[in-house]
Chains A and B, each alone.
Chain A
Amino acid sequence: MLRRMLAFTLRRLVVAIPTLLAIATASFFLMRAAPGGPFDTEADLDPEVLENLYTAYGLDKPLLEQYGVYLANVLKGDFGPSLVYEDFNVTELIAIGLPVSARLGVIAMLVALLLGGTCGIVAALRHNRLFDHATMTMAMTGIAIPSFVTAPILALFFGLYLKLLPVAGWNDGAAANMVLPVIALALPQLAIIARLMRGGMLEVLRANFVRTARAKGLPERQVVINHVLQSAAVPLVGYLGPALAGIMTGSLVIELIFDLPGVGRYFIQGALNRDYPLVMGIVIVYGTLIILLNLLSDLAYAALDPRVRRTYR
């Protein structure tokens, strides 16, 4: 079994290489197809100055040549210089931004899993009772209200009205500065997780093997813990991989509203200013994370469900 899983993992990793290449190629040419260039936001540059800038960054070469040079450098682990943050390399910027986004994302996901998972389980066990309806209404609200609404409200209430927490800023990662961004990031995830967990539970609670377990005379607590939870978590696991990749690479809205130095802000500034290397670098890192986390979630699937395991080869 272990060997089969190992082979499966290896095969997926090998397939990841052409996938990443395709992502890099598509985003390279899509970025270049966008109107405007990297220094266009500096409206008053002289033609000579602009020409010098393009030469300095190799942007005057034919597009295919630039593409080749770029790929060769990426293979060497060099994403090149940023065109917006000109004193930094893209690798340096990702090394500054990604830990911030990842830290917030992982904490938010843990909070969402803990609270959302619990809510989902309890709601399923109290199916169609008051707690169930209440949590599901709240979950729908949580999914429906976008974070650009919740985040400023949180900042206004806890920061300006109660004066309990800083309204924004990273402050080198102080705990107080992380509370509101984590809540704002966790809320929609919490809602989705609660719904997924409840759905999974409800389906499994009606399954034959659960009825068998109950018929054996097992106490309900043991039925839930030993039999239901494991199977009920399967849909959630499928969701967690991509969701974690998404939340770790930074929520643009949250980073803007709370002035956080995360990678999401680099991404949008890069895109708006046509910082080709920066956007490409983040896209490749994001793609890699998605592939890895998807793989992890597939492996977790297999660990949870023997039927799934058999289909992997």
Chain B
Amino acid sequence: MNQPMPSFRSALIASAALLLAGVAAADTLRRGAVAEPNSLDPQIVSGASSTIMRDLFTGLTSYDSAGRLVPGAAESWEISADGLTYRFRLRENLKWSDGSPIAAKDFVYTLRRLLTPGNRTRFGSFFYSIRNARSIMSGELDPADLGVRAENGRTVVIELERPDATLLEKLSNYAAAAMPQAVIEEHGRRWSRPGRLVTTGPYRLAEWVPQSYLKLEKNPHFYAADEIEIETVQYFPTNNAETAMRRFLAGDLDFLLTFPADRMDWIEENLPGQLKIWPALGISYITFNNRKPPFDDVRVRRALTISVDRQQIADRIMVVGVPAAHTMTPSVVSNYDHPVPDYARQPMPDRLAEARSLLEAAGYGPDRPLTFELRYEPPEENRRLAIALQAIWREIGVNAELLFTDFGTLYRSVRTGDYTAARFTWFSPTDSPETFLFILESGSTTNYSGYNNPEFNRLIALAEAQLDRDARLAAYREAEALALADYPVMPLYFMVHRNLVAPDIRGYTPNSRGMTATRYLHRVK
């Protein structure tokens, strides 16, 4: 079987020729390494599919090619002096992808639907600052009581319970884009299929074969359709990053949203210029369960936190150019002065010595070593991280037992508080410290550590109520510094976006939000 039969070989060559002929037309784009969407309903789809969804739906606001906030379906807006009333003016001749007009009432429908219990919607809590939103979501009030109304055909008014500095950013989310009430009511759960899904964004859905591909074509009724060069974009979901990488190398895919971390060196050497890597609004951290031993003792938390050299972790273990983290709020968050704790500037030998004495004071030593379970989840790079931490902590006499679980098990265990320590990732939808600090606020959904500091909560509430940006960020800073001194969680490193982009693709500036909207991309000849 070493020599293929001549006819077999010619069949192979013929099929390869066919394949190559079909690739890389100038106005098409093939994107990979995305997750298969759990739904194409913009209010049901999970955050993992945001790149696809932003190609399909545009909210009142939007982002430009560098991730800066720009007008979307609304051409302009006014904010009242108390920061509680937003008045949006829609663009003239705004249309659905089927050509019929979009009116202000469509946005009212969208936000009411988003907050109505029983609709399987995911992003309702983004908009809890809107008047009555939370009470509607919990079933106490009727959706009609929501603080959103259509003043006339082109004016949407949103009334808030409290000032919300990130509302404009959040309104760019597809979950708050106009949605076609008539289509949804006619087709129910299946309204998101090709031929039915009516969109408002730069593209509309042409085909969807689950686990195979989604094909999007330019929406001729989009307000900026004239500026779009890519006529057709196909998304190829994959569960295997190596496969996506091979398809990219074979020229089958033009744009990968991520790639395997251990290929970093090879890519830097062989594909310079195709690698786009930059800081993201995300953090990787260890959450300690503050409610029970051993982590109810601040000395133990401090000892573990100061004994790890973050720069080493970032450079030697993670290898994908991640910034070291000593705070919860990433360094890339705009206009924020990061309260970096003092230990970060101390030499490592001193930190290790202090960690040992802290553990001794807490009652641990050679005859009674601190032993605990550290949970972590896929992908493979987390295993490397966990093993490195285990080795580092062994130096100060701590025995970390590693427990590898799938996502579901890990999330369930931290949510119910049934864990000791776990590695976790958080990405923020907004360029602000707010959601990073929610992680430490009492009663917050993402507060897995159980950290509870009334003074911290008070400072956060103070920050939220501040209309002035600098005063708000200063209050956040004070709150973060206060919490970090209690070591409730251990920041490890900040996340990065890492894309692989074919050399002939142009049109976007890497940005912390990871916005790579297809509408701005184009090919150079």
Task: List A residues at the B interface (Cβ < 8 Å).
Answer: 34-38, 40-49, 52-53, 55-56, 81, 84-88, 93, 96-97, 152, 155-156, 159-160, 163-172, 174-176, 179, 256-262, 265-266, 268-269, 272-274
Contacts and interface: CB of A to CB of B under 8 A. Distances in A.
A37 B408 contact: yes
B16 to A, nearest CB: 5
Contacts of B18: 174, 176
B190 interface: yes
Given A42-B122, A167-B250, A169-B236, 9 more contacts: A40-B409, A41-B407, A45-B122, A47-B445, A52-B121, A55-B117, A96-B210, A174-B19, A259-B247
Interface of A is mostly: loop
Closest 5 CB pairs of A and B: A36-B408, A176-B15, A261-B211, A261-B212, A46-B125
Contact of B250 (A34, A55, A163): A163
B239 A269 contact: yes
A86 B38 contact: yes
Given A41-B407, A52-B119, A169-B236, A176 B19 contact: yes
B243 A168 contact: yes
A164 B15 CA distance: 8
Contacts of A84: 38
Contacts of B217: none
A165 B12 contact: yes
A232 to B, nearest CB: 23
A41 B408 contact: yes
Interface of B: 12-13, 15-16, 18-19, 36, 38-41, 44, 46-47, 117-122, 124-125, 134, 137-138, 189-190, 192-193, 209-212, 236, 238-240, 242-244, 246-247, 249-250, 252, 405-409, 411-413, 415, 424, 426, 445-446
A169 B240 contact: no
Contact of A164 (B13, B124, B189): B13
Contacts of B19: 165-166, 171, 174, 176
A220 B247 CA distance: 52
24 contacts: A37-B412, A38-B408, A40-B408, A43-B407, A48-B117, A48-B138, A52-B118, A52-B119, A52-B137, A87-B39, A87-B189, A160-B249, A163-B16, A163-B250, A165-B12, A167-B247, A174-B19, A179-B15, A259-B247, A260-B211, A261-B212, A268-B239, A269-B36, A273-B408
A262 B239 CA distance: 12
Contacts of A171: 19
Contacts of A164: 12-13, 16
B408 A257 contact: no
Given A40-B411, A42-B46, A46-B125, A56 B246 contact: no
A49 B121 contact: yes
Given A40-B415, A96-B209, A81 B189 contact: yes
B408 A274 contact: yes
Given A41-B408, A43-B411, A261-B212, A87 B16 contact: no
A265 B412 contact: no
A35 B190 CA distance: 30
A167 B125 CA distance: 42
Contacts of B407: 40-41, 43, 272
Q: Counting chain A CB atoms within 10 Å of each CB, which of B413, B424, B445 scores highest?
A: B445
Nearest to A52: B117
A152 B18 CA distance: 23
Nearest to B44: A86
Nearest to B238: A259
B408 A35 contact: yes
Contacts of B247: 167-169, 259
A36 B426 CA distance: 19
A56 B122 CA distance: 13
A49 B246 contact: no
B210 A165 contact: no
Nearest to B415: A40
Contacts of B125: 46, 48-49
B240 A257 contact: yes
Given A85-B36, A86-B38, A259 B236 contact: yes
Contacts of A36: 406, 408-409, 411-412
Nearest to B435: A44
A42 B47 contact: yes
A43 B12 CA distance: 46
A45 B445 contact: yes
Q: Counting chain B CB atoms within 10 Å of each CB, which of A44, A81, A86, A268 scores highest?
A: A44
Contacts of A163: 16, 250
Contacts of B44: 86
A170 B238 CA distance: 12
Nearest to B412: A36
Contacts of B190: 87
Contact of B252 (A44, A166, A274): A166
Contacts of A48: 117, 124-125, 134, 137-138
Nearest to B11: A175
Contacts of A46: 124-125, 137, 445
Contacts of A49: 121-122, 124-125, 137
A86 B36 CA distance: 11
A273 B242 CA distance: 21
Contacts of A159: 246, 250
A256 B411 contact: no
B277 to A, nearest CB: 23
A43 B446 contact: yes
Given A52-B120, A174-B15, A266 B211 contact: yes
A167 B246 contact: yes
A108 to B, nearest CB: 16
A274 B405 CA distance: 14
A261 B239 CA distance: 11
A272 B122 contact: no
A272 B39 contact: no
Nearest to B23: A166
Contacts of A41: 46, 407-408, 411
Contacts of B413: 35
